[in-house]
Structure 1
């Protein structure tokens, strides 16, 4: 690709865009869920270790591929390894980013609806025909199964993302990142301060931070690796964003910064959610996937029902940050597909973005309706929404992440890799040997374990017990 490829105008813009691509529902929704189900502090300890030996090296790997190729992820592998099978990894990354976005956008639509409900003083409780209030679970179930409301929300969030993408890398992606990411942190810090005043704050902090090594198990380690994989958007096309980095950008520093910001958002989410959960009798931090849309509305209603203003402000702010985080990651996923089509088909950015948006609406509508009118259509005993999630998250995504690690470890020449790791001789990098050991051996092994575990539902603890039984 040409060296005059349009990229981020500033280092800060590139950092915030990369951080925004990683920060998403995985931080504010999935991290507290995983931590709640895996012992809180035990999970956090392992997660930080996993970031150091897995997340950051793989981030650097994808950044190195993208900036050296100066091409979107769908073309980058072909640029660096012409006429080879490695191009499958790039095409697969585009495919997985697009497919994830088809159903991820549906969830972003749910977040948009909950944000709107919170701002308009909604209670997140269903109303029965006789006028009595139902539960937050009924409210959520009624919404997602509605044939119209989720589709309207899907259209709105897709339109917002479309406008940003059409505006371009600098005026759209970079400018929106400079607004959305700082706004996200400001609102989160405000909510953390409020959560500190709740009666369950001390228990929440103890659950998240009190060292508890006894709860660390092989399955907790695997959960931490999976959370890092998805939270950092690894294997989803970060190569494309890296192709917009300037040559003087220190890839190691930006990878460390992205990892730090991403992890900070996850911890802040824990500092918001766990004090609130422990403030309401009968609530448990291990609420599972229904934490955000079912459990937390109960927390808000129970803890704040005597304070009308706070009962409006806190849910509005919480779902507001959830929406901001979701939008930054959808912008990234949309850009992966848009850049690929525009550069491969040699068409304008506007045309490419329009094609992607129309396809997202069409497939997303089917995925959304599979929670309601189309719920009878099953693929391997899963509705369409769940099948898309399973197919991408459990199969394709680990493979594209594995491909990136193996490509950097075995295919990129030492000269190519060294030029990127040192920003063309401008910075020092003394970790080459440990880095190569990680991307050649440790990271591929961990990804293969994730892949096998996801497909077979066999826990790591079961494997360990089996091996011990042999002796």
Structure 2
């Protein structure tokens, strides 16, 4: 098997790939999903889903990526022998490309909130924060400029390649993200009545365990680990043949889950301390939390100032690590399929996704022209990629690996060409194969049908 230039160290593999998974899905989406679905019960089901669904799906993408040693589209094409299964790879690249455009808008909001925190604008009543976010998201200029800035930062990292760009940036950003997260967790947990928020997260109320909670946790595990976006497959193409795929997937899932739970510990103790409802929904980060920090640390304004500033720096770093991986999916595709230099490929992706991001941002109130069927263009991108493309690509990847790819090929990748020969790995391979053939496709199908109201 020929190898191209890849990650230079095991730490680089783990931090870069974990950075792909650790993003706004952990710091923004996980807390409000936990808040809406019973806290501790949701977390228990979520962790079980990561183990039974997330890790096998991640390993499957790793197998395709490392075996193909190329961009996601070409990797599927190689493994499928050019059969129609190769379209799954192209769909994965398209999904990552489209997500890059509108995801950059959300990360751009984070940069605006850093600036607003820095100059002391994030102070006021709950109505003030609600108005502030509404005015920002519908502004025709500021969000577009911040979107361009975030994509520009991603470009500067991506153009330097895997070792000098992605790996170096991940080694700096991921530890910084953890340190910031721990600082805010400690500050939040020291607030009056913070114990109620901690209890909400870790003391399960079994009466709240419903089918909806189970399916929500299932969907969040899928969303949080960046499965089916092409990111994991692309990063795996840079793995060494000695990289243990099972161990790497497990370590990444653990890091991802720890960050998600720490995000809950950062948010809910502070929310309960000031009497904010934990089920505030998607607005929790941009509307509720500034108000929480303002109230919780009102007695010592300078502390509230720094906590708010650090939080949005943290949120921006989380968004950037994921944006880098999404950008790399399309950059690798353009570079290899059209024989372009890395800088040209990265520039094409940056400019085209910046255009998508600009239109998505403008659709949120700046113009009615970009609203179709009652949804803004931004919401259509989110709906089509998140609720259609991701589950479809994930489902087809499981079917592809479990039923189409020869088990000998899958076993060779799983065991690093027989170098992992213990009886434990032999059993683990059969467990993995069972999960990816039967459990994962059925679980993903349940998510897909449930979100369209076809499964109650």
- Structure 1 length-normalised TM: 0.93
Determine the structure 2 residue equivalent to 1:159.
152
Which deviations, in whole Å up to 9, do the C-alpha atoms of 1:273-296 show, x marking residues without a partner?
Answer: 000000113x10000000000011
Determine the structure 2 residue equivalent to 1:448.
445
In structure 1, distance between residues paired with 2:396 and 2:331: 22
Determine the structure 2 residue equivalent to 1:419.
412
In structure 2, distance between residues paired with 1:82 and 1:382: 40
Determine the structure 2 residue equivalent to 1:146.
139
In structure 2, distance between residues paired with 1:246 and 1:79: 18
Q: Note the C-alpha offset of 1:349.
A: 0.7
Q: Does 1:248 align with 2:242?
A: yes
Determine the structure 1 residue equivalent to 2:91.
92
Q: Does 1:434 align with 2:403?
A: no
In structure 2, distance between residues paired with 1:195 and 1:453: 35
In structure 1, distance between residues paired with 2:160 and 2:285: 32
Aligned 1:55-204 pairs, distance under 5 A: 55-123=54-122, 125=124, 135-204=128-197
- Show structure 1 runs of 4+ deviating over 6 A: none
In structure 1, distance between residues paired with 2:112 and 2:176: 20
Q: Note the C-alpha offset of 1:376.
A: 4.7
Which deviations, in whole Å up to 9, do the C-alpha atoms of 1:185-234 show, x marking residues without a partner?
Answer: 11111111111211131101110001222211111110011101110000
In structure 2, distance between residues paired with 1:51 and 1:409: 19
In structure 1, distance between residues paired with 2:130 and 2:123: 9
Q: Note the C-alpha offset of 1:375.
A: 3.4
Which deviations, in whole Å up to 9, do the C-alpha atoms of 1:59-101 show, x marking residues without a partner?
Answer: 1111111111111111111111122011110000000001111
C-alpha contact (below 8 Å) 1:125/1:139 kept by paired residues = no
* SS across alignment from 2:163: helix
Q: Note the C-alpha offset of 1:144.
A: 1.0
In structure 2, distance between residues paired with 1:388 and 1:344: 25
Q: Does 1:374 align with 2:374?
A: no
In structure 1, distance between residues paired with 2:332 and 2:4: 12
C-alpha contact (below 8 Å) 2:36/2:279 kept by paired residues = yes
Determine the structure 2 residue equivalent to 1:211.
204
C-alpha contact (below 8 Å) 1:200/1:277 kept by paired residues = no
Structure 1's 85 and 142: CA in aligned 2 closer, same or farther, altered over 3 A? same
Q: Does 1:233 align with 2:226?
A: yes
Which deviations, in whole Å up to 9, do the C-alpha atoms of 1:243-283 show, x marking residues without a partner?
Answer: 101111111000000000000000000001000000113x1
* SS across alignment from 1:347: coil
Q: Which moved more, 1:367-376 or 1:145-154?
A: 367-376
In structure 1, distance between residues paired with 2:134 and 2:59: 41
Q: Is there any run of 5+ residues in structure 1 with no aligned partner, and where?
A: 127-132, 464-471
Aligned 1:397-416 pairs, distance under 5 A: 397-416=390-409
Which deviations, in whole Å up to 9, do the C-alpha atoms of 1:21-40 show, x marking residues without a partner?
Answer: 00000001100011000000
* SS across alignment from 1:235: coil
Aligned length: 451
Q: Note the C-alpha offset of 1:379.
A: 2.1
Of 284, 303, 306, the residue aligned with 1:310 is: 303
Q: CA RMSD in A?
A: 1.4
Determine the structure 2 residue equivalent to 1:129.
none
Aligned 1:279-358 pairs, distance under 5 A: 279-281=273-275, 283-358=276-351
Determine the structure 1 residue equivalent to 2:257.
263
In structure 1, distance between residues paired with 2:191 and 2:46: 27
Determine the structure 2 residue equivalent to 1:10.
9
Structure 1's 286 and 62: CA in aligned 2 closer, same or farther, altered over 3 A? same
C-alpha contact (below 8 Å) 1:376/1:383 kept by paired residues = no
Which deviations, in whole Å up to 9, do the C-alpha atoms of 1:38-61 show, x marking residues without a partner?
Answer: 000010110111111101111111
Q: Note the C-alpha offset of 1:120.
A: 2.4
* SS across alignment from 2:371: coil
C-alpha contact (below 8 Å) 2:72/2:234 kept by paired residues = yes
C-alpha contact (below 8 Å) 1:89/1:400 kept by paired residues = yes
